[in-house]
Chains A and B, each alone.
Chain A
Amino acid sequence: MRWDTLPVGGLGAITTVIGVIVMARGVGLGTPEPILGVVTISGSILLWRGAVLTAAGAMYLSGASGGLTDRESQATVVMASLMIWVVAGSDLLATVLGAIPGGSGVWIAPPEAIVAALGPPYTPAVLLAVLALATLRYTGVTRP
């Protein structure tokens, strides 16, 4: 067993739990809000987002249990990260593009307002996306 199965497994566990919470929120169950002051589970199509996160978590776990020594389990882990980046990236893009027009009479909002829109609280996917950066190490040359 390689040492990195542990952090990847941990990432998988966290991602799965968060995904399940988001899905629970999506079907109308109450969850604490905001969590730790920086995480907010809000917005539309939560069920969809939660499902993606849960699946990504499961793929991390499956990659970690595969031992991370072969290309396939490494690729599974990178793919799970890709899924998280897709969700986080498109959420951030939506935030930025939503902030630029600046409302009535203003064609382009002042830069401060755009930067302010990027502040916390964040969606869980954005935080997970940062953690998932660690899996970039598998995109390098194969290790024996």
Chain B
Amino acid sequence: MSVPSRVLLMRHPNVGKSALFNRLAGTSITESNYPGTTVDYTESELVRSDGSVPIVDVPGTFSLSPSDRAEAVAVEMLEDSPAATVVCVLDATQIERGLNLAVEILERDRDVIVALNMFDEARREGVDIDVDRLSELLGVPVVPTIAVDGTGIDALQARLDDARNPSVQRILERVADEGPDGGESEPSIAVADPSPPVDERTPADGETGGDDRTPDEDGENALGTGQRWNLVDAIVARTVSYRETDASLSDQIGRLAVSPRTGIPFAVAVLYGVWTVFSAVAGFFTDGYFVPLFDDYWLPWLQSAFPMEGSWLYFLVVGDPTATNSFEAFGVLTSGLFVAIGVVLPAILTLYAILAVLEDSGYMARLAVLLDAAFRRIGLDGFAIVPMVLSFGCNVPGVAATRSLETEKQRFLTMTLLSVFIPCGAQLGVMLSLIPQYTGYILLYLLAGFFVFGAVLNRLVPGSAPDIVIDIPPMRQPRVANVTTKLSVRVRGFVTTAIPFVLLGVAVVNVLYLGGAVEWLANTFRPVLSGWFGVPGETVPALIAGFMRKDLAVAQLSAVSMTPFQTITSVVMVSLYFPCVATFAMLIKEGRESGGVLKVLGGALATLLAALFVWGGLLRLIGIALGVA
């Protein structure tokens, strides 16, 4: 009997399983960054009759011999709290590999209670589990749960104090004593033997390597990987029976969604939906409500209410006293606040919601598989689609999302490429209204640039892309409660960490303006820009504005009289040009964890210049070749 001081929820990395955490957790769910890493985990308070204990949703892991950063954090968190009670959340539909993790945790001498989640689904899929027998064999409580509708959660809560720490040796003995279930074939006789089975030690086999065992795993309780699987097979043979069932329609669709022939058209449709829903919802908030709110009420009020018009402080905070819209005022509390709350917030709210739905439905993993081959060419993997999709909404959350990528190199590459080549939603919106007939081609040109420069950077930056194994979850209906919890946690995290950076960025730009640095830059580069790209010198102020907000820059370009081709060139240039100040601030923030700020900024700037001159110059050459420039 033990009253837990801390509860760790351990599970496979998979969608929907944090539903159980949301059920157990109180209202104050917070997302934190594990110190020294880019891995995030969620934490809350578990309210019990006799007070509350901290409960942690440990990053998902398949085993305790970590093979990526998130898994390493999971193991470290387990090691750091030896007194914690571990709730081992198993997916009942995939009980074998779940038990593999459970046994591995038991080897580490922790108080364990097993939650057999998705119990209903397992039964539907023909997986029948004898819960009592499983509990008897393991020597720990086993509670069937259905997290999505709350079944079994109370029972799990009530039995937390019964969590046990049985020795694996005892489990082996119990399994051997009990003998196999019915007439099923015995998967292993070796589990009864306390000494390692002979075949697992056969050197020629090559199956058991030292790489499977970490030094601290070598306690008396530890098993080799092969032994552990033998034990799992034996337990499964005694407690689980499989009935044959037809593949359901959603299984079939899930399969088709990850086959190239049907999956790629489907992905094109899904991405169309993502894009349309995003622009509709974000436009609804930004253009429908925030623009009038800021332009008609906030800006005039602040302009008249803020004292000391004409002082540097007024310029910093409010900006231009005669500005009639919040784009052009350029103050921290006018443009800065407007960009942060009126533009970036709706954009990320919408995209995070869409992504949460895609993740919870199990589609994200399929999309990652479909795109893996393309991204592999540029040193990334399929999951790079997440920051990329976010970037089409707003580069800021795009850069923030790179932290989920595995290596420093991947984070650096993705950050750089998307801040240079991916035009944000606001910018695309203006492009679509100004030059609808060319927007598609501009987009294709930029995407081509993304991949060409990605391939080049991949050669230049040392390091290799790790081969990834992607677990493909079954397609499931996303649950509203789960999506909203995920959304609120992510948005809260974003608001508290990123928005101060955006405001700070605006302040820095204003200081640069005050010091005349921006004007100096504009005058210096004017001949270069117009000479190399063949665009009129009047476009330079628009490029400067691009540092604040790129859509505004595109809008300003429309006022300059140019040939259609010059318009296209200058729009492409604005896209390639400096990331907007919010993105820039985010690059500084995230760069600290991806090889250092200087490396990221230097790399991004070098890429930017190369992209601007090479890709912009190439466009002019194309224009000359076509006879339109």
Contact = CB atoms under 8 A, between A and B. Distances in A.
Interface of A: 26, 28, 44-45, 47-49, 51-52, 55-56, 58-59, 71-72, 74-76, 78-79, 82-83, 86-87, 89-91, 93-94, 97-98, 100-101, 104, 107, 138-139, 142
Nearest to B436: A44
B279 A71 contact: no
Interface stretch (B203-211, B244-252, B597-605): B244-252
Contact of A83 (B252, B269, B287, B439): B269
A97 B284 CA distance: 6
Contacts of B255: 75
Contacts of B266: 79, 82-83
A86 to B, nearest CB: 4
Contacts of B289: 101, 107
B568 to A, nearest CB: 15
B477 interface: no
Main DSSP-derived SS at the B contact region? helix
Contacts, number: 98
Interface stretch (B270-278, B540-548, B588-596): B270-278
Contact of B288 (A72, A89, A101): A101
B268 interface: yes
A56 B272 CA distance: 13
Given A45-B440, A75-B253, A78-B253, A101 B284 contact: yes
Contacts of B618: none
Nearest to B273: A86
B280 A90 contact: yes
Interface string B416-456: 00000000000000001000110110000000000000000
Given A59-B262, A104-B292, A98 B283 contact: yes
B256 A76 contact: yes
A122 to B, nearest CB: 15
Contacts of B276: 87, 90-91, 93-94
A54 to B, nearest CB: 9
A28 B438 CA distance: 11
A87 B272 CA distance: 7
Interface of B: 246-247, 249, 252-253, 255-257, 262, 265-266, 268-270, 272-273, 275-277, 279-281, 283-284, 287-289, 292, 432, 436-437, 439-440
Contacts of B288: 97, 100-101
Contact of A86 (B262, B272, B287): B272
Residue of A44, A139, A142 contacting most chain B CB atoms (<10 Å) = A44
B262 A28 contact: no
B249 A78 contact: yes
A62 B569 CA distance: 43
B575 to A, nearest CB: 17
A139 B475 CA distance: 14
Contacts of A59: 262, 265
Given A91-B276, A94-B279, A52 B249 contact: no
A93 B440 CA distance: 22
Nearest to B437: A28
Given A52-B268, A94-B279, A71 B284 contact: no
B284 A98 contact: yes
24 contacts: A44-B432, A45-B272, A45-B275, A52-B265, A55-B265, A58-B265, A71-B252, A75-B255, A76-B256, A78-B249, A79-B256, A82-B266, A82-B269, A83-B265, A83-B266, A86-B269, A89-B273, A93-B277, A93-B280, A94-B276, A97-B288, A98-B284, A100-B284, A139-B249
A142 B253 contact: no
Closest 8 A/B residue pairs (Cβ): A101-B288, A55-B265, A75-B252, A90-B276, A94-B280, A83-B269, A86-B273, A97-B284
Contacts of A142: 246
A35 B246 CA distance: 44
B269 A55 contact: yes
Given A28-B437, A44-B439, A98-B280, A49 B252 contact: no
A93 to B, nearest CB: 5
A78 B265 CA distance: 14
Residue of A56, A97, A100, A139 contacting most chain B CB atoms (<10 Å) = A97
A31 B570 CA distance: 31
A86 B439 CA distance: 22
A142 B250 CA distance: 12
A52 B281 contact: no
A90 B265 contact: no
A72 B265 contact: no
Nearest to B293: A107
Contacts of B247: 71
Contacts of A82: 253, 266, 269
B284 A52 contact: no
Contacts of B432: 44
Residue of A28, A87, A90 contacting most chain B CB atoms (<10 Å) = A90
Contacts of A47: 440
Contacts of A101: 284, 287-289
A138 B248 CA distance: 11
Given A75-B253, A90-B277, A48 B262 contact: no
B272 A48 contact: yes
Contacts of A56: 265, 269
B551 to A, nearest CB: 15
Contacts of B275: 45
A98 B439 CA distance: 21
A51 B266 CA distance: 11
A77 B64 CA distance: 43
B272 A138 contact: no
A104 B277 CA distance: 23
A42 to B, nearest CB: 11
Residue of B246, B247, B253, B432 contacting most chain A CB atoms (<10 Å) = B253
B281 to A, nearest CB: 6
Contacts of A107: 289
Given A71-B246, A75-B253, A142-B246, A87 B273 contact: yes
B565 to A, nearest CB: 16
A47 B256 CA distance: 24
Contacts of B279: 94
A55 B268 contact: yes
Nearest to A71: B252
Given A93-B277, A101-B289, A49 B284 contact: no
Contacts of B284: 97-98, 100-101
Given A97-B283, A100-B288, 17 more contacts: A28-B437, A45-B439, A48-B440, A49-B272, A51-B268, A71-B247, A72-B256, A79-B266, A83-B265, A87-B269, A87-B273, A87-B276, A90-B277, A97-B280, A97-B281, A97-B288, A98-B280
B256 A75 contact: yes
Contact of B262 (A49, A51, A52, A79): A79
Nearest to A89: B273
